[in-house]
Structure 1
Amino acid sequence: MKKRLYIELENCIGCRSCLAACTQCGGHEQRNRNYVYDVNPLISRQTMPLMCLHCENPACARSCPAQAIQIHETGAVLSALVEKCIGCQNCTIACPYGIPKFDSEQNLMYKCDLCIDRTKDGIPPMCASVCPSNTLQWLSEEEIATKKSQFALENEKWVSSMPYLEGGTNVKINLPGILQGVEKLF
């Protein structure tokens, strides 16, 4: 049963446990590959996680002249391969979501690889396994469909990962709470 990372943006409490867990994932060299964005710190305490959406046809991989960015059979778009990356930074420019980062010391691009060492075996990525507010969840297509049926919104308004920027994505982000005006009380 294929599972996907599912994000409920309005649940984020800004605890940043996902960031701490990311550094502990195998192969990350203690480097954080996700981010938590303060939406408007002068007005509210609302935060949201930012991570690679693992596009089905990723601009980062298409723009790489060295073919250093590989797509795993699970759909995860992996960080640049050390032995192939030439440090051109095309991937960081091409990504419409601004996710890949470039490490000038290592001359290498890095980004979320969906904890491929875990997810290829059906184990949730580190960020989803520690999220206390269920902002980040590891769900099957059936579980995502059940969540979707709880909201009376048009299909194209239910998730942000629709074909507007990069076609489909392997990470689904729900928007009903935001579109329906759900406000969090902190």
Structure 2
Amino acid sequence: MGKQLGFYYNSNYCIGCQACETACKNKNKLPVGIHWRQVDHFETKNENNDRQVDRYISRSCMHCKQPACAAVCPVKAFRKRPEDGIVVQDREKCIGCRACVHACPYKAVAFSNQAVKASKCDLCIDELRQGEEPACVRGCPLQVLKAGDLREMEVKGVVKECQGFLKAATGPSIRFAPEKR
């Protein structure tokens, strides 16, 4: 396997502040209603099963091993870069058919009714070229979100699923800290 960039997320300490979401929107100048990163809230029981605990999942494009968006796009607007595994989109090619929006198991492809185009996270390729972290990672005040090579993230204890996130057959490029209950 070649290099595959992706995300590492520690849901144990995420407070749901949405700073990652805001940083992404600001950096990419996304219009109202368009989100390339979203923070989802859900509740679960604590280890004694006696009280609800707030949990959050910060999600965006998972830069999948087998991206569903690329598989269904009739104009081949999506491609997986061989050098780093980032799934990129040529927005000029987009014809607005929404096949990618419906195919993505992570709801990571946004659709603009105004522009009649789909769009998604590109892991801030321009920032990576400058040696910087993606905007969402830099925006996280608790540093629970990180980006990097999945091989380097494969340390003892990381998992591929957590509460609120199930691994799809597309092979998402995200790893999680083991959950504390």
State the TM bucket, normalised to the shorter chain. Answer: 0.7 to 0.9
**Match among 38, 56, 65 for residue 41 of structure 2:** 38
Q: Does 1:101 align with 2:102?
A: no
Instruction: Provide the rounded CA distance (Å) in 1 between the counterparts of 2:80 and 2:139.
Output: 25
**Match among 101, 110, 126 for residue 135 of structure 2:** 126
Higher strand share: 2
Q: 1:3 to 1:87 in 2, by over 3 A?
A: closer
Q: Give yes or no for contact 1:34–1:49 (8 Å, CA) kept in 2.
A: yes
TM superposition shift of 1:140: 4.6
TM superposition shift of 1:10: 2.1
Give RMSD over aligned pairs: 2.7
Which residue of structure 2 aligns with residue 168 of structure 1?
171
**Match among 69, 73, 83 for residue 78 of structure 2:** 69
Give the residue type in structure 2 aligned to 1:76: I
**Can you give the 5+ residue segments of structure 2 that lack an aligned partner in the other structure?**
45-51
Which residue of structure 2 aligns with residue 135 of structure 1?
144
Across the two proteins, how many residue pairs are aligned to each other? Answer: 165
Q: Give yes or no for contact 2:5–2:84 (8 Å, CA) kept in 1.
A: no
Question: What is the CA deviation profile of residues 10-40 of structure 1, one whole-angstrom value per residue up to 9, with x for unaligned ones?
Answer: 2211111101110232xx2334411011113
Q: Give yes or no for contact 2:4–2:86 (8 Å, CA) kept in 1.
A: no
TM-score, length-scaled by structure 2: 0.77
Give the residue type in structure 1 aligned to 2:24: C
Which residue of structure 2 aligns with residue 29 of structure 1?
29
The residue matched to 2:107 in structure 1 has which SS?
A: coil
Q: Give yes or no for contact 1:57–1:167 (8 Å, CA) kept in 2.
A: yes
Same amino acid, percent of matched pairs: 30
Which residue of structure 2 aligns with residue 8 of structure 1?
10
Instruction: Provide the rounded CA distance (Å) in 2 between the counterparts of 1:142 and 1:84.
Output: 32
Which residue of structure 1 aligns with residue 48 of structure 2?
none
The residue matched to 2:30 in structure 1 has which SS?
A: coil
Q: 1:110 to 1:175 in 2, by over 3 A?
A: same
Instruction: Provide the rounded CA distance (Å) in 2 between the counterparts of 1:141 and 1:95.
Output: 21
Question: What is the CA deviation profile of residues 150-179 of structure 1, one whole-angstrom value per residue up to 9, with x for unaligned ones?
Answer: x3xxx8xx2239x9523433x3221521xx
Instruction: Provide the rounded CA distance (Å) in 2 between the counterparts of 1:118 and 1:60.
Output: 23
**Match among 55, 78, 83 for residue 88 of structure 2:** 78
Q: Give yes or no for contact 2:9–2:174 (8 Å, CA) kept in 1.
A: yes
Q: Give yes or no for contact 2:11–2:55 (8 Å, CA) kept in 1.
A: no
Which residue of structure 1 aligns with residue 160 of structure 2?
159
Q: 1:3 to 1:95 in 2, by over 3 A?
A: closer
Give the residue type in structure 1 aligned to 2:87: V
